[in-house]
Structure 1
Amino acid sequence: MSALWVVVPAHQEAARIGTTLEALASQRDRDFTLVVVDNASGDSTAGIAREFARRAPFPVHVLTERDKGVGCAVDTGFRYAVEHGATLLARTDADCVPHPGWTGAARAALERGAGMVCGRIEARRDEHGPLGRAGFRAMVALAAFFGRIRPAHRRRHGYLAPYRMHAGNNMAITARLYEAVGGMPRRPSPTDRLFLNRVRRRTTAIVHARDMVVENSTRRLRAYGVVGTARWYLDKGPGRHGEDPR
């Protein structure tokens, strides 16, 4: 059994999860086990994952998490993986496209001694042209800069490591560290910053791997706009918007 398990939380992703699953099947390093956690979907998300499992080039487990919230789905998937022997954990989302070297880069960084690995995110090519992707990169760089200078993220607050840009849809962590920090907050999005800060209070072994690349959907950005998305990431709610559009 592989030491590496990949977890994909999914809510109402019938239109997109097929692309994510095919991207995982196209990884150069396919020595991993996949866990898809269907998070209270009302569409055919789980059925698509089960059909994929019949022909996948690696073991696939499809779980159901009735408590809605990406944090609940991720935590259920990671804990299931650990209970079944995982020592290395990676996560992407069901609207994302991991590049072919994604799992290999995650494994390599963890085996070199990282406790947690933050990968690089880009805008999905099927949603944007070159200008749109360049704009997305600029926004990510701005968000990373803000995170580094934000007073609440300074090390005097008990953090052992400096703040690094962390996207939950492109991360990897050792099972031991995941359990040591108490796991992912079991709540709706956003959870990424909360989880990263849990890890920062525990270890300095947090690295950024530029060769661990995931193409990210920008549905939330288009639905909320720049200001609304910033409010959402700062945990101030979506304003006038309703359910998270992911």
Structure 2
Amino acid sequence: MTALWVIVPAYREEARIGGTLQALAAQQDTDFTLLVVDNGSDDRTAGIAREFAAGAPFPVEVLVEPEKGVGCAVDTGFRHAIAHGAALLARTDADCLPEPGWTAAARAGLLASGGLVCGHITARADEHGPLGRRLFRGLVVTGAFFGRIRPAHRRRHGYLTPYRMHAGNNMAITAGLYEAVGGMPRRPSPTDRTFVNRVRRRTTAIVQRRDMVVQNSTRRIRAYGVVGTARWYLDRGAGGRGVDPR
């Protein structure tokens, strides 16, 4: 089977990474290698991943990337995976819960499209109640709509396909395409929009799969507030706050 690697960048996630690892262990398709990229954490994030590796149903590697920034961790992880034989790459984050069909949907989407697969994100049920989850969904829908109508994202700027909402914590890409577009930008953060626009200039092979589902952390709402979170999803910056809500 075509080699799939799952990359999980992590920074100070000792409280949440265990849930992410268990969600990956519960995947219907476990024929993949897991790479956790610890971004220089000063807690037990890397240690928890190493302990998990001892009983995991798939190979697990832990890599340390000391250069701070999620783009740095993701790019280092993807390039490490490619150098060690990965043909298909999927990413989630260490505060997210991929649903059981996630890796199977990512693999199917990549084999069918040969390009970039954007998954569907929902809110974690253990961080906010129903109102918070509806608010999160509304912010995501608003951000996706803004992305589609934003003048800078229009096809006259050299893009080959319409803009699509791209959540970095729920995406998959072929190794060949990742290298062809120059990889994930290491700076500045956030890097997801820049990355998807690199892909849009290269290919039309960008698909969305509703069955590739990740439950997303909603802690940004608590850290930034509703207005600050809306600014974030509308690409208006963090409003003077750090880009990492921890």
TM over 0.5: yes
Partner of 1:110: 110
Whole-angstrom CA distance in 2 between matches of 1:243 and 1:175: 28
Whole-angstrom CA distance in 1 between matches of 2:167 and 2:94: 14
Change in 2 beyond 3 A, CA 1:73/1:41: same
How many angstroms does 1:220 deviate by?
A: 1.5
Residue ranges of structure 1 left out of the alignment (5+ in a row) = none
Whole-angstrom CA distance in 2 between matches of 1:31 and 1:201: 32
How many angstroms does 1:234 deviate by?
A: 5.7
Q: Say if 2:95 is the partner of 1:83.
A: no
How many angstroms does 1:133 deviate by?
A: 1.7
Q: Say if 2:29 is the partner of 1:62.
A: no
- Residues 195-234 of structure 1 aligned to structure 2 (within 5 Å): 195-233=195-233
Moved more, 174-183 or 134-143: 134-143
Whole-angstrom CA distance in 2 between matches of 1:181 and 1:206: 13
Partner of 2:47: 47
TM-score (norm 2): 0.96
Q: Which residue identity does 1:202 align to in structure 2? A: R
Q: Deviations over 1:27-62 (max 9, x none)?
A: 000000000000010111000000001110000010
- Residues 67-216 of structure 1 aligned to structure 2 (within 5 Å): 67-187=67-187, 189-216=189-216
Moved more, 177-186 or 232-241: 232-241
Q: Secondary structure at the match of 1:112?
A: helix
Whole-angstrom CA distance in 2 between matches of 1:17 and 1:76: 19
Change in 2 beyond 3 A, CA 1:243/1:156: closer
Q: Secondary structure at the match of 1:212?
A: strand
- After superposition, the CA RMSD in angstroms is 1.5
- Judge conservation of contact 1:114–1:205 (CA < 8 Å) in 2: yes
Whole-angstrom CA distance in 1 between matches of 2:118 and 2:237: 25
- Judge conservation of contact 1:72–1:188 (CA < 8 Å) in 2: no
Residue ranges of structure 2 left out of the alignment (5+ in a row) = none
Task: Tell me the number of residue pairs that the alignment of Structure 1 and Structure 2 aligns.
Answer: 246
Moved more, 220-229 or 151-160: 220-229
